[in-house]
Chain A
Amino acid sequence: MVHILGTLLKDHFKVKYALTKFYGIGVNRSNQLCARFQIHDTCRVKELTPYQITAIASFLSSPSTAPALPQYPLAPPTFTPPPPNTASSDLLAKFKAQQANAPPLKMKNKEWRDPLKSLKVESDLRNEIRENIAHQRMIGSYVGRRHAMHLPVRGQNTQNNARTAKKLNTMERW
């Protein structure tokens, strides 16, 4: 059992499904997160190392301030690796020098944008939703009025049904 940002992730869950328990993370975001932290498809929560758990927790607490992703060089078929006793600090220094000069990654002739940079979860997302509703009210729009009256916002019929809207459409949503 792991608690991350107040959400409990049960041990026997696969990580890619356990991450969907966060408010604001669905299947696609979860796959992107697993790829980011090199978590394989069938990894269970109990198999995660403490380093990985800390990495996920620190990322989700503020996704926008996460460091840029490194572009790892991949060995061509003719590559001969240096001997195993090579110091990792030397390799790291060489890699960092290479990264500093590397151009930004391009995919399909466009600069790659991290889809997780704009990720919001839990309380941040709830606040954003509340702010959006408050903004609509402030500018006096139709949408704002409908929220205030606890009625459907998107042009649904109200002669019958509209039960969900009457229950959930409020100004203080979340």
Chain B
Amino acid sequence: MSLLSSNARHVALVQKSLAAGALRAASQPAKAAPKERKAAQSIGGVKKGRKEKWETKKKQEKIHKTKDIPRFTRMAETKLMMPKTFQRPATLPEAFKAGSGHVLELPLFGRETLVPRNVGKAVSYSDAPNNAAKVFGLPRKMFFEYRILSSPCSVVRDVTLQAVETLEKAKASSSLDSRIVLHGRAGCGKSFLLHQAVQYAQAEGWVVFYVPRAASLVNSTTTFAYDLRTQTYLQPHASYRTLDKLLKANSALFAKLPMKKALVTEKLNVPAGTTLADLVQIALKDRSAGNSAVVLDALTSELQAQTQFPVLLAVDDFQALLQDSSYKDHFLRPIKANHLSLPRLILDFASGKRTFAKGAVVTALTNSDTNFNVPLEIQDALDLPRAHPVSPYQRRDGDVQGYVHGLTGFKLPDRMSSDEMAGLFSVWKDDMALTTDKYDELFLSKYVESDGNPRDFVWKGLLSTFST
């Protein structure tokens, strides 16, 4: 149901229901007079010593009879149509009416708009069908926000420019040198920054491999089957969907990349020279996803070796891949994430065991997922602030410690600057989401209340305020 329903539509609905009611009354015959209720009877007399109880019971029944159920009458038509107040009628502005076509008009996200003078200004994303956000999806909380906004956009921040600079440096070098983990307090903008990095990379012609919800790879929602060759649990359907998304987002680039090595398995024989686009199509033909895992592995190996386009592997919810998954083995023991095929693929690149000849691996932690907390191993590696004192005797997994070794932490500032926050405020103001026109007062009060935290500013500040 639309939040922005017009008054006119409400009135029309009410009139329709009244008309229907009138028709119904006309079609039904007049009701007969209700039957008289029989009084309670005792057959064969009352038991000895219970006459008094019987008398009180009969009296209670009489009381119930007089307490009729109230009859509801229809409200007068004129009263229904009246707006709530005369001073400020309950009519919505033109922009909210259906078919008004109101959309935020903002400059497009790209190299030209990502300049220091634009810090604090909002930019929107392209509407192309191969946009990484459309193809790969978005993290949950970002998705909710974009569902409310009339067009997806975000504010250019200092950290955005730093991310752009980092990606430019990483363009010509191996991903071994650029393995970054974005961290910071909950709601400080890690997922948004990662998304901006993905959009920038796609606009600049990189191959993008975006995993917006890595937790969905380990929360036991897709098929899994043990494979003797790789000694890991393959995830056929997850691999199938990943291949499909990779092809949709990077189809133009994949069509230009030929395979350097042939892929020969028991079921497949793909010769060298086949384009990556054709390779993925071969895997997608098999709906049972039998070949998906091995084809995804071959595809990433080819992307590793090629130097034509830099590759960005962007993973949100990275902490979910560093602990036990929700899958269980035969013996009902939890399967570690690094023993599942897709998480293992990501961890191999994040740890530097496999590298892209040109590209970067950028990951982001999520502090708000209670099913997958940030584990000790990465807290130690990045020296993250601890909520509770941690003992050196608490067990750390050696394998996970190996995977997080060498990762570079990038801490996002706890607070957005006032310019950036003003830009964020203007997005919601221009999108007609605010309930008051006292903008200065609202902005300053919510900025202080949220302590500069962007998520709290928007969700607990602007969208939850009762001020008018």
Using a CB–CB cutoff of 8 Å, the interface residues on chain A facing chain B are 31-32, 34-36, 38, 40-43, 47, 69-70, 72-77, 79, 81-82, 84-88, 91-92, 95, 105, 107, 112
Using a CB–CB cutoff of 8 Å, the interface residues on chain B facing chain A are 219-226, 228-233, 263-266, 294, 297-298, 326-332, 336, 338-339, 344, 351, 353, 399, 402-403
Do B339 and A75 have beta carbons less than 8 Å apart? yes
How long is the Cα–Cα vector from A72 to B328 in the complex, in angstroms? 13
Determine which of A41, A81, A87 lies in contact with B220 in the assembled complex, contact meaning CB atoms within 8 Å: A41
Give every chain B residue within 8 A of A40 (Cβ-Cβ).
220-224, 327
What 7 A-B pairs have minimum CB-CB distances, sorted nearest first? Answer: A75-B231, A41-B220, A35-B328, A85-B264, A84-B265, A81-B230, A91-B228
Do A105 and B229 have beta carbons less than 8 Å apart? no
Nearest to B228 among chain A residues (CB) is A91
Query: Given that A70-B330, A112-B331 are contacting pairs, would A77 and B232 also be in contact in the complex, using a CB cutoff of 8 Å?
Result: no
Do A86 and B339 have beta carbons less than 8 Å apart? no
Nearest to A86 among chain B residues (CB) is B229
Give every chain A residue within 8 A of B327 (Cβ-Cβ).
40
Residue from A34, A36, A75, A77 whose CB has the most chain B CB atoms within 10 Å: A77
Query: Given that A40-B221, A77-B399 are contacting pairs, would A107 and B331 also be in contact in the complex, using a CB cutoff of 8 Å?
Result: yes
Do B226 and A38 have beta carbons less than 8 Å apart? yes
How long is the Cα–Cα vector from A105 to B351 in the complex, in angstroms? 31
Closest CB-CB distance, B74 to chain A, in whole Å? Answer: 41
Give every chain B residue within 8 A of A41 (Cβ-Cβ).
219-221, 326
How long is the Cα–Cα vector from A73 to B219 in the complex, in angstroms? 22
How long is the Cα–Cα vector from A105 to B338 in the complex, in angstroms? 22
Give every chain B residue within 8 A of A92 (Cβ-Cβ).
228
Do A85 and B328 have beta carbons less than 8 Å apart? no
Give every chain B residue within 8 A of A112 (Cβ-Cβ).
331
How long is the Cα–Cα vector from A25 to B53 in the complex, in angstroms? 51
Query: Given that A41-B220, A91-B228 are contacting pairs, would A76 and B330 also be in contact in the complex, using a CB cutoff of 8 Å?
Result: no
Query: Given that A77-B399, A85-B264 are contacting pairs, would A72 and B226 also be in contact in the complex, using a CB cutoff of 8 Å?
Result: yes
Query: Given that A69-B331, A77-B353 are contacting pairs, would A42 and B231 also be in contact in the complex, using a CB cutoff of 8 Å?
Result: no
Give every chain B residue within 8 A of A43 (Cβ-Cβ).
223
Give every chain A residue within 8 A of B339 (Cβ-Cβ).
74-75
Known: A35-B332, A72-B231, A77-B351. 4 other contacts (CB 8 A): A40-B220, A43-B223, A75-B231, A84-B229
Determine which of A35, A42, A74 lies in contact with B330 in the assembled complex, contact meaning CB atoms within 8 Å: A35
